């Protein structure tokens, strides 16, 4: 997907407790998920590469961000993104 609706209220409600770096890591991961339309790898090094996280603080932020994803056989899934991808395909 090259476009998705970003519901500001939902995003603020769900991520308002995160630091700026943690929110940035989360956005980088969800953008990659939308772009590839498949679950993220369940590997911290790969996720850090996707998010551009190189410093210890950034890598820690990725660890926090992946709490929004559910581990499944194919990787890390996000139910909201899956629903949006499904809607876009209809």
CA 56 to chain CA centroid, Å, is: 19
Per-residue pLDDT tens for 7-54? 999 999 999 999 999 999 999 999 999 999 999 999 999 999 999 999
What is the per-residue pLDDT for 47?
A: 98
Give 45: exposed, middle or buried? Use CB within 10 Å, 0-12, 13-18, 19+.
exposed
pTM of the model: 0.94
């Amino acid at each position: 997907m090259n476009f998705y609706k970003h519901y500001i209220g939902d995003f603020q409600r769900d991520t308002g407790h995160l630091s700026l770096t943690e929110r940035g890591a989360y956005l980088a991961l969800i953008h990659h998920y939308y772009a590839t339309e498949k679950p993220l790898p369940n590997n911290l090094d790969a996720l850090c590469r996707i998010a551009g996280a190189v410093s210890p603080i950034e890598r820690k932020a990725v660890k926090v961000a992946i709490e929004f994803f559910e581990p499944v056989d194919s990787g890390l899934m996000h139910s909201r993104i899956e629903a949006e991808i499904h809607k876009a395909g209809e």
